[in-house]
A and B are shown apart, each in its own frame.
Chain A
Amino acid sequence: MSDNEYSILIVGVGGQGVLLASELISEVAIRAGLDVKKSEIHGMAQRGGVVSSHVRIGPRVFSPTIPYGQADVLISFEQAEGLRAVDWMKKDGVAIVSTTSLIPAIVTSTKDLTYPYDALERMKKKLANVIGVEADAIARELGNPRLVNTILLGVMSGYLPFDTESWNEAIKTKVKPKFVEINLTAFERGRQLAAQQVKT
C-alpha cells in the first residue's frame, strides 16, 4: 500500500449488503480529499448470484475495476466467495472473511459439485493475512443480522489510514437515522477485533 492508493474488493451474495459497505468506504475516501472510483454489476447478479464491488482510492484513479492480483483489502461476506476472490489479492494483502456458509441449490441438487468448507484454510495457503470473523454471531448478539456489513467494515477500518471520526461521519450520512446508533456500535466491535489482530 503506497501513496494512499488502495484497492478494496468486497464480495458476497446478492442481498447481503455488499453495496452499502462500498458506499461507506467511498464516502470516507472522498472526505479525505482522495479520488474514488467504484464499480459493481447490477441486474441479474442481485438474484442470489455473486456480487462484487470494487473500490479504488488514491490521488488519481483510472480503472474503476481492480487489476487481478492488486487488491490490498478483501472483505468477504461468505467464506466460499472469499476463496473465489483470493486471486484478486496482493500476496501481502488483508482478507477479512465472514465465516458464514451459503450453499446454493445448484450445489445441494447436483452430485458432482461440493462446497469448500475449508475455504479459510485454503485462503491462508495463498495469503499471509486472512482474518475469519464470526460476523453473523456478533450481529445476532447485537440484535440485527443486517449489521454484518458494518462489523466487517469495522475490522477493515483497522487497515486503512482513516480515523474513527471519519467512519462515524460516513455512517451517519449513509445510514437511515434510526439505525445509526446500532451501526456505530457494530462498527466499533469490528474495529476492536482489528486492534486485537494487529496486537497478536
Chain B
Amino acid sequence: MKELMSGNEAVARGAFEADVKLASAYPGTPSTEILETIAAKYRSVYSQWSPNEKVAYEVGIGASLGGARAMVAMKHVGLNVAADPFMTHSYTGVGGGFVLVCADDPEMHSSQNEQDNRHYAKFAQVPLLEPSDSQEAKTMLLAAYEISEEFDTPVLLRLTTRISHAKGIVEINDPIKTEQTKFTKDAAKYVMIPAYARGRHKVVRERLKKLQEFAEQSPFNVIENNGSKIGIITGGIAYQYTKEVAPGLDYLKLGMSFPLPMKMIAEFVKSHDKAIVVEELEPFYEDQILAAGIKVEGKKFFGHRGEYSPYRVAQGLKKAGVLKEIAIAEVPPEEQMFPRPPVLCPGCPHRGVFMALKKLKVTVTGDIGCYTLGTLPPLKALDTCICMGASIGTAIGMERVDGSRKGAVAVIGDSTFMHSGITGLLDACYNKSNVTVAILDNRATAMTGGQEHPGTGRTLMGGEAGQVDIPTLCRALGVKRIREVDAYNYDQCIKTIKEEMAADEPSVVITSRPCVLMPKRIMDEPYVVDLEACNGCSACFRISCPAIAAAEETNEHGHPKAIIDESLCTGCTLCAQICPEECIVLKSQFVKA
C-alpha cells in the first residue's frame, strides 16, 4: 500500500515498523510532527515529551540499555542541548538499537541559526544517514536500527526542513518483531570513568574503521551512470534539486555520508573529467574529500548560506561550466511588496506584557517562543534572543555590569522556562541578582503548535500527568517576590513590572492568561470601533493586532481610521484600554448606544 507522507510522518511510520518501544523528544520545528504522529497513530510505541532535548536523549539511552529499540527526535539546535549525553553515548554504545533523528533548518524558516548537524556525526564519530525524500526517510530509519545494533553505536538520521515537511509517496509495510533483552551490567562499557572511557575511545576508533568499510558497500551510496564526463557528488535534498535541473549527468548519491565511502568517491572522481559536489549548507563532503587528496569543487559555485533550490543549483552548475543555459527562467526582480511577517495572534496574552515593557522603555532580554513574534515593528519589544533559556542568564549579566541595579527584564514562556530557564533563575537567586523575570505562562508549547509540557497536566499520549506549580518552583529556587498579573490588564502589567524592577532582589512576574489557540480557541464578545468618534490617531495600529485594520474612512490629515474584524477579535480588550478617544467598545454596547 502507498500513502502520501511527510518525511516526519514517514519517520514515525518507520519507528512503528522497526518495533521501536520508546520515542522521546522536545518539540521543535521542523521535527515536531515525528512524535505527534507516533502518539496519534502508532500507539504501540510509547512516546513522550521530555522537558528538554538532553533529558529526551537520556531517556532514550535508558530504554536502549534496557534492551528496547529507542528513538529520540529534535531540531538541529536541540542537539546542542543534548550534545553532552550524545558525545559520550558514542563511547558506551547501545543495548537495543538507538537512532537520533535530527532535523536541520536551512534558511532558518523557524530557527535562530542554520548550523549543519552533519558535523555532529563526525564530531561524535557515529554513522550518519541522509534521506532525500519521505520514502528514504522511512527506509533509512529501519536500516539505521540494524546498523546501530550491528556496530553497537547510536546512529544520526539527519533530516532538513524540505525532507521533514515535504510530502512524497511512501510504501507501507508491516511492522517487524524484535526480541527485547534485559539490561546487562557491564561497568567497563557503561560507566564512563576515565579508566573505562579510555578503553571505550579505542573501541570507537575501531568501530569507525569497520563503518568505513561498511559505507563502501551501503546500498544508500549509489552511482547513477548516464555517460556524462562531469560527475556530481551529492546527497539529501540537494540530490533532488540537481536531478531536477540536470538529470542527464552522472551521480554519486550519498545516503550514508559519515563515514564517507572514500574509495567509492575516489573511483567516481577518477572516472570523470571533473567532479562537482552539491551539498546544502557546509562543505561537509567537500572538505573531507579534499582532505583525502581527491580533487573536487563545489562550494565556490553554490554558496554556504540558506536553502538551495533548483534555480540556485542550476545557477551554480552554470558558474561551474556544467550547464550552458539555465533551462529554467532567470529570477526577475521580485515585485516590490510589503513584508508580511508572522505576528502575535489576535488576543495573544503576550501582547499586553510587551506593550507594558515598551511603555516602560526597558531593555528586554528575550527567549525562544511565540514572543519572538513581538520583535518586529510596530511592537519592537525584544532586545536579545539567543537560544532556549538564554533570557535569564543574559539579563543577569547585563544587570551586573549595568551597576544601576535596575537591569534588564527577562521574558520567557512557560515551556521554555521548564526547558532551560530554571537554572538561570537559580543563578539569579544564588548570585543575588535583581533581575525581573516575566514568565509568560500560556500553558502550552505554543510556537510549535500547543504541545503539552510539565506544566499542562497532560502527556503527549493524552494521559494525566504530574504538573509543576510554577510559583512553588520559583520559591524553592529562592525567589521571594513572585507576582501574578492579568496579561490583559495593561495598567496592572505596567505597575507590577515597574515595582518589581525597583525591588533590590530577583523577582518573578507570572502572567495568567492561556494561549488563545490552544488547547481550545478562546473567542469572547468582539469589540467594534465607533467610527464617528475615531480620530485616526493610529494608537491601536501600533499594538499589531491582526484583527485591527485600516478603515476606508480617513481623518482630516488623510490617515485611516480603524475598524475591527469581528471574526478575528477575541475580545481581549487591550485596544480598548489604549485608545485615547475611548471609541473602541463592546459590540453589544455600541448597538445599544
Q: Chain B nearest CB: distance from A98 CB in Å?
A: 16
Q: Among the listed stretches B54-62, B202-210, B464-472, B540-548, which one makes contact with chain A, having 4 or more residues with CB under 8 Å of it?
A: B540-548
Q: Chain A nearest CB: distance from B245 CB in Å?
A: 7
Q: Chain B nearest CB: distance from A116 CB in Å?
A: 7
The residue on A at minimum CB distance from B538 is A109
Q: Is B476 an interface residue when CB atoms closer than 8 A count as contact? A: no
Q: Which of B301-349 contact A (CB under 8 A)?
A: 309-311, 314, 328-332, 334-335, 337-345
Complex CA distance for A144 and B237, rounded to whole angstroms:
40
Q: Among the listed stretches B254-262, B370-378, B504-512, which one makes contact with chain A, having 4 or more residues with CB under 8 Å of it?
A: B370-378
Q: Is A70 an interface residue when CB atoms closer than 8 A count as contact? A: yes
Q: Is B162 an interface residue when CB atoms closer than 8 A count as contact? A: yes
Q: Which of A26, A65, A81 has the most CB of B within 10 A?
A: A65
The residue on B at minimum CB distance from A54 is B166
Q: Is A137 an interface residue when CB atoms closer than 8 A count as contact? A: no
Q: Is A198 an interface residue when CB atoms closer than 8 A count as contact? A: no
Identify B549's interface contact among A50, A86, A103, CB under 8 A.
A103
Q: Is B151 an interface residue when CB atoms closer than 8 A count as contact? A: no
Q: Which of B33, B331, B338, B370 has the most CB of A within 10 A?
A: B338
Given A64-B240, A104-B343, A104-B546, answer yes or no on A70-B168 (Cβ-Cβ < 8 Å). no
Residues of A within 8 A of B448 (CB): 43
Q: Is B158 an interface residue when CB atoms closer than 8 A count as contact? A: no
Q: Is the CB of A44 within 8 A of B310?
A: no
CB-CB contacts of B215-256 with A at 8 A, as 1s and 0s?
A: 000000000000000000000010011011101000000000
Q: Is B92 an interface residue when CB atoms closer than 8 A count as contact? A: no
Q: Is B587 an interface residue when CB atoms closer than 8 A count as contact? A: no
Given A69-B331, A109-B542, answer yes or no on A49-B340 (Cβ-Cβ < 8 Å). yes
Q: Is the CB of A48 within 8 A of B342?
A: yes
Q: Is the CB of B29 within 8 A of A39?
A: no
Q: Is the CB of A45 within 8 A of B331?
A: no
Q: Is A62 an interface residue when CB atoms closer than 8 A count as contact? A: yes
Q: Is the CB of A65 within 8 A of B377?
A: no
Q: Chain A nearest CB: distance from B440 CB in Å?
A: 15
Residues of B within 8 A of A103 (CB): 549-550
Complex CA distance for A67 and B331, rounded to whole angstroms:
10
Q: Is B161 an interface residue when CB atoms closer than 8 A count as contact? A: yes
Residues of A within 8 A of B247 (CB): 62
Residues of B within 8 A of A48 (CB): 340, 342-343, 345, 546
Complex CA distance for A37 and B243, rounded to whole angstroms:
14
Q: Is the CB of A105 within 8 A of B378?
A: yes
Q: Is B143 an interface residue when CB atoms closer than 8 A count as contact? A: no
The residue on A at minimum CB distance from B545 is A105
Identify A67's interface contact among B161, B243, B245, CB under 8 A.
B245
The residue on A at minimum CB distance from B310 is A67
Complex CA distance for A61 and B338, rounded to whole angstroms:
33
Q: Chain B nearest CB: distance from A76 CB in Å?
A: 13
Complex CA distance for A113 and B170, rounded to whole angstroms:
45
Q: Is the CB of B544 within 8 A of A62?
A: no
Q: Which of B168, B331, B345 has the most CB of A within 10 A?
A: B168
Q: Is the CB of A42 within 8 A of B29?
A: yes
Residues of A within 8 A of B542 (CB): 109
Complex CA distance for A35 and B330, rounded to whole angstroms:
27
Q: Is the CB of B165 within 8 A of A68?
A: no
Considering only CB atoms and an 8 Å cut-off, how many residues of chain A contact the other chain? Answer: 50
Q: Is the CB of B166 within 8 A of A106?
A: no
Given A36-B169, A50-B340, answer yes or no on A87-B335 (Cβ-Cβ < 8 Å). yes
Complex CA distance for A148 and B98, rounded to whole angstroms:
46
Q: Is A108 an interface residue when CB atoms closer than 8 A count as contact? A: yes
CB-CB contacts of A88-107 with B at 8 A, as 1s and 0s?
A: 00000000000000011111
Q: Is the CB of B560 within 8 A of A108?
A: yes
Complex CA distance for A152 and B543, rounded to whole angstroms:
33
Given A48-B546, A116-B337, answer yes or no on A105-B244 (Cβ-Cβ < 8 Å). no
Q: Which of B30, B244, B378, B544 has the most CB of A within 10 A?
A: B244
Complex CA distance for A107 and B378, rounded to whole angstroms:
10
Q: Is the CB of B335 within 8 A of A83?
A: yes
Q: Is A110 an interface residue when CB atoms closer than 8 A count as contact? A: yes
Q: Chain B nearest CB: distance from A21 CB in Å?
A: 14
Q: Is the CB of B541 within 8 A of A40?
A: no
Q: Is A200 an interface residue when CB atoms closer than 8 A count as contact? A: no
CB-CB contacts of B556-568 with A at 8 A, as 1s and 0s?
A: 0000100000010
The residue on B at minimum CB distance from A85 is B335
Complex CA distance for A109 and B549, rounded to whole angstroms:
10
Complex CA distance for A69 and B243, rounded to whole angstroms:
18
Given A43-B447, A103-B549, A115-B338, answer yes or no on A68-B544 (Cβ-Cβ < 8 Å). no
Residues of A within 8 A of B109 (CB): 41, 43-45
Complex CA distance for A86 and B329, rounded to whole angstroms:
13
Q: Is B167 an interface residue when CB atoms closer than 8 A count as contact? A: yes
Complex CA distance for A63 and B548, rounded to whole angstroms:
39
Q: Chain A nearest CB: distance from B549 CB in Å?
A: 6
Residues of B within 8 A of A80 (CB): 337-338
Residues of A within 8 A of B360 (CB): none
Q: Chain B nearest CB: distance from A125 CB in Å?
A: 11
Given A105-B544, A106-B378, A109-B377, answer yes or no on A39-B166 (Cβ-Cβ < 8 Å). yes
The residue on B at minimum CB distance from A50 is B340
Complex CA distance for A38 and B168, rounded to whole angstroms:
7
Q: Is the CB of B340 within 8 A of A145?
A: no
Complex CA distance for A80 and B550, rounded to whole angstroms:
16
Q: Is B133 an interface residue when CB atoms closer than 8 A count as contact? A: yes
Q: Is the CB of B342 within 8 A of A68?
A: no
The 6 closest A-B pairs by CB, nearest first: A69-B329, A43-B110, A49-B342, A43-B29, A64-B166, A47-B342
17 CB-based A-B contacts, threshold 8 Å? A13-B340, A26-B167, A36-B4, A37-B167, A39-B162, A42-B29, A43-B109, A45-B342, A48-B345, A49-B342, A61-B168, A62-B243, A64-B162, A65-B162, A105-B343, A105-B378, A106-B376
Other A-B contacts than A35-B169, A87-B334, A109-B538, 9 sampled, CB-CB below 8 A, are A30-B169, A43-B30, A44-B447, A45-B110, A47-B370, A63-B309, A64-B237, A67-B244, A106-B376
